[in-house]
Amino acid sequence: MDLHPRPQAIAATRLGRPRSGPQRLVGLVVRPPIRRYRCDRRVPRHDRALLPAAVVGGLVELSLAMASGEIVMKFLFLTSGRRTPSTRFRMLPLAERLNEAGHRCVVSHSFPEKYDYFPKLGFRPSQWLKRACRRVDLWRARWGRFDAVILERELFDNPTWDLETSLRTAARTLVLDIDDGVFLKFPEKFARLLELADLVVVGNRALAQWAEAAHPHVVIVPTCIDTETYRPRTLASEAPAIPARAVIGWIGTAGNVEYLRELAGPLRNLARLHDFEFQVIAGNPGVLAELPLSGVKVAFRTWNPATEATDILDFDIGVMPLTDDPWSRYKCGLKLLQYMAVGLPGVASPVGVNRDIIRHGENGFLAATAEQWETSLGELLTAPELRRRIGTEALATVRQHYSLQVQLPRWLEAVESSIARQADAPRHT
């Protein structure tokens, strides 16, 4: 699939739908007899290092189409905040690649970030500021002539949905993106958001089952890894000699460090038998103080979004422990995919999407009990060749199914179809 839309499907959404009169077809380009839509004639930049050959071929076709006045799409992304994982891995990479393909994307982050506030300003004034900034986004959505507005989860982390209702009337096409069990916190609100959306994009099968119960147009686009950013040590010159001390690693937010309690016992037992280091990459070193890891060599590294893709290259094994609860069952397996994208073997709890990502013993290991964690980690600690074999299969899994380069055309096709449906539907008021 190429990365530009069929003009027949999109033309009707541009500044009013052509109502009558003959149309002249020139190749794939629909030319209505009235000039009521815009054409963006910018020629995109092609980067063969970023996109596979099939997609590059589509972009070459896109350049020719744009030069002749064919239509390019314009998107508004409303995100949770620049540092929020769902924004960094689901929204920003899409916007960047779409811009490179010649589309026009505007990204508006929550300010302050959705799940944060300015301490010096205070909590309530920070919320007022968020609402004021989002009202600007409502104005932008109404008058910016966007083909689609992509809403990441919701506008505010609270039970209200009044501004989302206003966004519905402002947007030509509203796409709701859900990558976590956020609806468990505010079920009534998200039931309403499903009604407002034209298309629901979800990150895994569990989320799809929830959304499909209330919405006819649901598509699964997993949380993806940009394989141009996450690169394995493929050259001998890049790979250090196998160290005497292997490194088991975990990366995540400070709030998720609590999941490491599942590993405390197995790590303590393994530390009596093997010489290894347990490395944690997170935002706050203080969160490790309450973990019962006595006897385990623990190293902490402050999380940095600019270097996280290279920081995890210091790991030999990646871990993703989870508790089996409703919230965990809706997670999208991001940290597991991060490990796999750089060729690391991962060991994860068999909860939610982890069971879809991992083929036990082939591209990773699933561990449900303390004994299974000890066995899987023990095998990997003592067998460098096993780590390499599992890591190679893990990398292939990400490149084939969970890479941005593979999933971007699927996302765009789904959004294009939604825009086409709205061209024939009555406008929301």
Summarize pLDDT for 261-293 with one digit per residue, the tens: 999 999 999 999 999 999 999 988 888 888 999
Q: Is 201 in the same domain as 218?
A: yes
Laid out side by side, the sheet with 365-366 consists of 297-302, 276-282, 246-251, 317-320, 346-348, 365-366
Measured CA to CA, the distance from residue 226 to residue 341 in angstroms comes to 9
The total of structural domains in the chain comes to 2
Burial 168-187 (b: 16+ CB within 10 A, else e): bebbbbbbbbbbbbbbeebe
Q: Is 167 in the same domain as 43?
A: yes
For 151, the enclosing helix (H) or strand (E) is strand 148-152
CATH of the domain at 359: 3.40.50.2000
Q: Is 356 in the same domain as 419?
A: no
- pLDDT of residue 159 exceeding 60, the answer is yes
Tokens coding 227: 């394989």
Taking the CA atoms of 9, 15, 17 and 19 in sequence, report the sign of the dihedral they define. Answer: negative
Contact 171, 297 (CB under 8 A): no
Measured CA to CA, the distance from residue 15 to residue 73 in angstroms comes to 13
Measured CA to CA, the distance from residue 162 to residue 24 in angstroms comes to 43
Domain membership flag for residue 235: no
Tokens coding 285: 């070193």
Q: Can you tell me the mean pLDDT for 346-351?
A: 98
Q: Is 28 in the same domain as 176?
A: yes
The whole-number pLDDT of residue 286 equals 84
Measured CA to CA, the distance from residue 93 to residue 224 in angstroms comes to 9
- pLDDT of residue 65 exceeding 70, the answer is no
Q: Is 18 in the same domain as 37?
A: yes
The whole-number pLDDT of residue 180 equals 94
Q: Is 269 in the same domain as 186?
A: no
Domain membership flag for residue 341: yes
Q: Residue 218: beta bridge partners?
A: 200
Q: Is 396 in the same domain as 343?
A: yes
Domain membership flag for residue 232: no
Domain membership flag for residue 241: no
Q: Is 357 in the same domain as 409?
A: no
Q: Is 387 in the same domain as 315?
A: yes
Q: Can you tell me the mean pLDDT for 216-236?
A: 87
Q: Is 213 in the same domain as 326?
A: no
Q: Is 212 in the same domain as 260?
A: no
Measured CA to CA, the distance from residue 256 to residue 287 in angstroms comes to 10
> What percent of the chain lies above the pLDDT cut of 90?
73
Strand segments (E) across 252-345: 276-282, 297-302, 317-320
Contact 80, 152 (CB under 8 A): yes
Measured CA to CA, the distance from residue 131 to residue 81 in angstroms comes to 14
DSSP conformation class of 286: G
Q: Is 411 in the same domain as 348?
A: no
Domain membership flag for residue 2: no
Measured CA to CA, the distance from residue 341 to residue 165 in angstroms comes to 39
Measured CA to CA, the distance from residue 220 to residue 359 in angstroms comes to 20
Q: Report residue 3's pLDDT band, with 50, 70 and 90 as the boundaries.
A: low
The whole-number pLDDT of residue 2 equals 56
Q: Which domain holds residue 295?
A: 246-401
Domain membership flag for residue 238: no
Domain membership flag for residue 388: yes
Measured CA to CA, the distance from residue 34 to residue 19 in angstroms comes to 10
The whole-number pLDDT of residue 316 equals 97
Domain membership flag for residue 343: yes
